[in-house]
Structure 1
Amino acid sequence: MTLTSRLATRADVDVLRALMDRAIAELLPGFLSDEQVRASAAIMGLDTQLIDDGTYFVIESDGVPAGCGGWSRRATLYGGDHAASRDSALLDPAHDPARVRAMYTDPAYKRRGVGRMILELCERAAADEGFTRLELMATLAGEPLYRSYGFAEVERTEDARGGAPVPIVRMRRDITS
């Protein structure tokens, strides 16, 4: 299997949202209750600002979307278009970490390097813009990948905006490139 990457476009939105729905429905149940999985779907999702900013990637295997994710130079740490907490203020690379955002792997491609590829792309792109650190908000399902990539826990918290408290982990990593 050969993975390729490209920047997402607005034409990808429907396919990406379907991929995200599959990832949430199939990859989170081993870590969360059914109620928390449903709440996760209300909290997470695609932030199309990332597509508009040219910082959101689609990973493909033979032209089939296998995953997606990106990074941001904006203040929002997590949440999709529907999140009221979105903040489009630009970050200062001299002081702020770039945000890794909205990473999802299609369940058919889990544990095949999709997530690591997204992280490598994000790290390179953020470094090219002068950022020296990355930050993200991890689900419990994503935490092992981020730890293996060198992210360290900053804090554990919960987000109950979706109707049930969903545990999430704020993590940070220095850019090494």
Structure 2
Amino acid sequence: MSLVRPLVRRAVPEDAAELVRLRKIMLDSMSPSADVSWQPGTVAALRAHLADPGGELTAFVIDAPGADGRLAACASGAIHHGLGSPGNPAGTSGHVFNVCTDPEYRRRGFSRACVEALLDWYREREVHRIDLHATAEGEPLYTSLGFARTPAPAMRLTL
């Protein structure tokens, strides 16, 4: 059996609601919540970001086979600018987030294809340091793509 590489495309503003639907699936897999109050604002923000093809936030998607307007998988990313350091002289970094495949379409290489397209996008923009937070389920995919755990612990403050 030969593997056919799924068709990956860059997301457009019309994909925003589907990207948020997939984000909810991803978030619920880590910590289920009935709260959907964040979704309308997120859809609006995504539409604005995706309308700017030169912008520093993007997503790559795979359309659900035979399901007009639905997405099977996605991977999003953003470019951040900071100060340079010995390991990152330019001070730019990328962050991969919102990697999700609809449960109906899992185990077909869709997330891998979306993340690979996102990594190509970073390469084109000469962003060499890419970070992400991985679930235990996603970690084997990221490891196979060259990601490694870092010694720096993450911390967060919510204001």
Return structure 1 stretches of 4+ with deviation > 6 angstroms: 39-43, 158-161
Q: TM-score, normalised by structure 1?
A: 0.60
- Find out whether 1:37 has 2:32 as its counterpart: yes
Aligned alpha-carbon RMSD (Å): 3.6
| The one of 140, 147, 154 aligned to 1:144 | 140
Q: By how many angstroms is 1:69 displaced?
A: 1.3
Higher strand residue share: 1
Paired letter, 1:58: V
| The one of 116, 123, 127 aligned to 2:119 | 123
Q: Measure, in 1, the Cα distance between the counterparts of 2:155 and 2:122.
A: 27
* Alignment length (residue pairs): 139
* Structure 1 alignment gaps of length 5 or more: 76-88, 162-177
Q: Which has the larger radius of gyration?
A: 2
Q: Measure, in 2, the Cα distance between the counterparts of 1:68 and 1:21.
A: 12
Deviations 1:17-55 (A, max 9, x none): 223323444xx2xxx5xxx33399899x77626524442
User: Secondary structure at 1:97's aligned position in 2?
Assistant: strand
Q: TM-score, normalised by structure 2?
A: 0.66
User: Secondary structure at 1:71's aligned position in 2?
Assistant: strand
Tell me: CA distance 1:114–1:121, structure 2 relative to 1, closer, same or farther (3 Å): same
* Structure 2 alignment gaps of length 5 or more: none
Q: Measure, in 2, the Cα distance between the counterparts of 1:126 and 1:21.
A: 25
Instruction: Give 1:1-177 correspondences, 5 Å limit.
Output: 3-25=6-28, 28=29, 36-38=31-33, 48=46, 50-54=49-53, 55-62=58-65, 64=67, 65-74=71-80, 94-154=90-150, 155=152, 157=154
Contact 1:97/1:133 (8 A) holds in 2: yes
Paired letter, 1:51: L
